[in-house]
Amino acid sequence: MEIKPTHALVFGVPGPTLDPETKRIIKDVDPGGFILFSRNIKDPQQLRTLIDGLREICTITPVITIDQEGGRVSRLKELGEEPPHAVQLRDVGDLELIERHGSLTGQLLRQFGFNLDLCPVLDIAFDDEAENSLRGRTWGRTQGEVAENAGVFLDAMRAEGVLASGKHFPGYSGATVDPHYELPSVDRRLEELLKAEWAPYAVLKDRLDTVMMGHALYPNVDDSGLPASLSKVMIEEQLRGRLGFSGCVVSDDLDMGAITKGWSLGESVRLAVEGGTDLVLICHRLKYAAEAAEAVANIDSKTIAPNLKRLQALQEKLSPPKEFSLERFREIDSEIGGLRQDVLAKGAAPVESKASHSPVEDF
């Protein structure tokens, strides 16, 4: 099984079924995976049929991923119960409930054929009300609390055969604008990041299958003028070199305003891969897939060789889907509802949504 440069590309697809044009684009480009959103989800059998169809088109075992964190960033709540928010579990402080959340998340995803969940969030909650896209999604107010809670969640989920992704390195906690709209600039020094935001990554690096790079400038650490998601300094020198992370690096969505307002699709794909990114998320512009494919095809073979080696290693970790059972889905869904009630019964406060956060729902 040959890993090719286009296998670095992970696309969103437009709807709940695979229309002929979508199939044609996928076959022509031969991507390495797909990310699904609420727009792709109508009912349990439909979702499994869609994922099976995506698998059949690909020349390798595709990464099939989703944002299933809990709370408002839970794409599968379209089908049933909404799991508790990370903040609610954090505030209750019961590790057994966090472990249940991780286990049920893994069981649910395996039913549909997902093999990678883009979580846990490892950002620290310096301010629960900050306008930085993190409301309700953070596992702790300190680096130790984040590492412990997120570690329990990811261990339980991985035990069910679903890989994990720590996000959003180097951290959105210090951002003052939402990267879905604008490119943040975070005024943190290296020593501050090492003590706080990066400490959970250092603790969990050997248990994280992937790490997602965030779209933010860190001028006190990296003078390249590039956001961390496109920067070799932040990916290779800091995450891989200084912190010793050896797994795959995933970009945050290159269709977010933080990137689209400054770089073309082809340029951002090239910079991300040359910087050390192994899986590039392009969540909403499948019609421009050929441009992305051309960008990775033109990268020097020696430059992209380490990326392809890491993708090969990731292939060997991907679990096959469980045999689909509507009855089993309903059992898991009921258990998720019970978990949420147990969390609320322990005093967890409701997490209010804000209109300004709507892109996180299905961006």
CA 174, 255, 163, 362 dihedral sign is positive
Residue 363 has what pLDDT? 44
More confident: 246 or 363: 246
CATH of residue 325: 3.20.20.300
The SS3 of residue 69 is: strand
Query: Is there a domain that residue 216 lies in?
Result: yes
Domain assignment present for residue 135? The answer is: yes
Q: Is residue 353 in some structural domain?
A: no
CA-to-CA distance for 105 and 165, rounded, in angstroms?
Answer: 14
For 34, which DSSP code?
Answer: E
151 domain residue, yes or no: yes
26 in a structural domain: yes
What does pLDDT average to over the chain?
Answer: 94
pLDDT at residue 362 above 90?
A: no
Determine the average pLDDT of the residues in 216-234. 97
What local confidence, expressed as pLDDT, does residue 132 receive? 59
Nearest to 178 by CA among 362, 361, 359, 354: 359
CA distance linking residue 184 with residue 353, whole number of Å: 22
Q: Give yes or no for residue 361 having a pLDDT over 50.
A: no
Range of the domain at 185: 5-348
User: Strand pairing of 33-36 and 63-66?
Assistant: parallel
Q: How many angstroms separate the CA atoms of 108 and 331, rounded? A: 10
356 found inside a domain:
no
- CA distances to 60, 63, 79, 333 from 305, rounded to whole Å, are 17, 19, 40, 42
Residues labelled as active-site residues = 180, 252
Taking only the tens place, the pLDDT of each residue in 258-292 is: 999 999 999 999 999 999 999 999 999 999 999 99
In a domain, 360, yes or no: no
Q: Is the pLDDT of residue 245 over 60?
A: yes
Condensed to tens digits (0 to 9), the pLDDT of residues 17-57 reads 999 999 999 999 999 999 999 999 999 999 999 999 999 99
Which pLDDT belongs to residue 355?
40
Tens of pLDDT, residue by residue over 162-193, are: 999 999 999 988 887 888 899 999 999 999 99
What's the pTM value of the predicted model, to 2 decimals?
0.95
**Number of domains comprising the chain:** 1
Please tell me the least confidently modeled range out of 62-66, 131-135, 154-158, 309-313: 131-135
286-310 confidence digits (pLDDT tens): 999 999 999 999 999 999 999 999 9
Does residue 142 form part of some domain?
yes
